[in-house]
Amino acid sequence: MSTDGLSAPAGFRRSLTIQRRVIGALLMREVITRFGRNNIGVLWLLGEPMIFTLGITTLWTLAHLVHGAGSIPVVAFAVTGYSSVLMWRNSVGHCCGAVQQNINLLYHRNVQVTDLLITRILIEVAGATASFIVLASFFTAIGWLAPPVDLALVLAGWLMLAWFGLSLAMTIGSLTAYSHLVERLWHPCAYLLFPMSGAAFMVDWLPSGMQRTVQYLPMIHGVELLRKGYFGNAVRTHFDIPYMAMCCTVLTVTGLFLARDVSRRVEQE
């Protein structure tokens, strides 16, 4: 009797265990390298996105007071908007140059380019998520922020944005291994994408022609879904999650293909 059917699951479990250990070791190395062991250390993973988000929230609140009240609470609008931007922008930013910076690790048999990229993405997603939860909980506790109308939609929107950040970071991070020009071009692109990402506006506020244009950007749909979960019927949202999922799938497959090609190039060298 053949044992192939029995050995395959065992082999898969063994590979999964090795993969988990590799990612865990890389996470520990990355956290210690980036944040160190002194002062508050790993808490900077939470502190950095919180500082940025609080700064933007303060500026938007001041502008809101100057120009008058609107129908949407500005604190909720700022926290939901800028936290989502930090997740995908920081994921891509820290994956740029990740291969070159850790090239020596790739000569270990069990370490692949995807491991390096996923490690950095997990750190950024974890930091942005923790920052979002802490700030939302704090502002809710002091009465500046109402609880979300539909927590399931908030979670769905956040997960879609995390997927977008992962897929985009995998693609851009792999491309930077081919040319330093990609990293140099990404930084101005990130600044240009911020005002168009939906963080600072609702799609419904735009003229109809512009609404169709901005909805070509995948992250718009995640932010709109997130705000639908927070504000409910108080706002009119426009999102197409199947379209966003299609874009994320294409980016994910592209990123995995490029990462595999980069790994082969490293092996040949």
Token pair 């994921």 is found at 91
Largest CA distance in the chain: 79
How many Cβ atoms sit within 10 Å of the Cβ of residue 183? 19
Using alpha carbons, list the distances in angstroms from residue 140 to 28, 58, 230: 33, 16, 12
pLDDT in tens, 142-184: 888 889 999 999 999 999 999 999 999 999 999 999 988 998 9
Task: Give percent of the chain with pLDDT exceeding 90.
Answer: 36
- pLDDT confidence of residue 251: 96
- pLDDT confidence of residue 97: 85
- Helix residue ranges, H only, the chain: 4-35, 44-67, 74-95, 98-101, 113-141, 151-175, 180-193, 208-214, 218-231, 241-268
Q: Are 153 and 226 in contact (CB under 8 A)?
A: yes
- pLDDT confidence of residue 150: 93
pLDDT in tens, 173-216: 999 999 889 989 998 999 889 888 888 888 998 998 899 999 99
Q: Are 60 and 78 in contact (CB under 8 A)?
A: yes
Q: Taking all residues of the chain, what is their mean pLDDT, rounded to a whole number?
A: 85
